[in-house]
Amino acid sequence: MKNYRRINGSESFIIDKDIFIDTNVWIITNGPQSSSQIDRIEYYTQILNSVILSGRKIYITDICISEIFNVIFAYFRKLYSNNVNNKNYKRSQHYLENIDAIFSYIEIIISTPNLILYNTKELYHFPIKIDDRLDFNDGIYAKICMDNDLILITDDSDFKQIECDIISCNTQLCPIANV
């Protein structure tokens, strides 16, 4: 079995391959609810800037974009009320006042330089074969990284056993080496 790199937040590294950024990293760096995670915001923003400057391709899927929208939508819905369902929230003045903000977060992400939308059409029957600990979407992301030799940038420790290079400041995923 190949020795895959696990690069944590305390290590310096060179971006030597194209990357796939997991939904949670996009939300940490661009979501409205991320202000309490300053160290993670700085870390992942620095990585994203390094990737952009390197000219490496950054992959995303329509599934990621949907997940990002749903998380940000839920954030705004909870600001309005913890006791309202999606249907009723969409009828509220709060939703109408904030829908443009929700989409602006998505627009910021999809305007990232070097960003490529990966077509997942052929992958929907494969994720279950990757690792049963991953949810469906994470299985697709793992499959994309493994098939295309991409570095996965994630904050999700569910990817711990996946056979691809990973960059993360999540110490459960990428332990900090004793120096």
User: Could you give the percent of the chain with pLDDT greater than 90?
Assistant: 49
Q: Give just the sign of the alpha carbon dihedral 94, 100, 103, 108.
A: negative
pLDDT at 172: 83
pTM: 0.86
Which residue in the block uniquely carries the two structure tokens 């939904």? 23
State mean pLDDT over 156-167: 87
pLDDT at 1: 36
State mean pLDDT over 85-97: 94
Kindly list the structural domains of the chain, giving each domain's residue range(s) and its CATH number in brackets, ordered by start: 6-167 (3.40.50.1010)
Measured CA distances, 23 to 62, 90, 100, 150, 178 (Å) = 11, 23, 20, 15, 30
Closest CA to 7 of 44, 38, 37, 56: 44
Average pLDDT, the chain: 85
**CB neighbour list of residue 52: distance below 8 Å, 6 or more residues apart:** 58, 112, 113, 114
For residue 48, pLDDT over 60 is answered with yes
pLDDT at 4: 63
For residue 128, pLDDT over 70 is answered with no
Rounded Cα–Cα distance for residues 40 and 68 (Å): 17
**DSSP E strand boundaries for 8-90:** 19-21, 58-61
> What pLDDT, in 10s, does the model give residues 10-47?
566 678 899 999 999 999 988 887 666 778 888 888 88
Closest CA to 113 of 9, 19, 14, 13: 19
> What pLDDT, in 10s, does the model give residues 101-110?
889 999 999 9
Rounded Cα–Cα distance for residues 59 and 116 (Å): 5
- pLDDT band for 163, please (50, 70, 90 cuts): confident
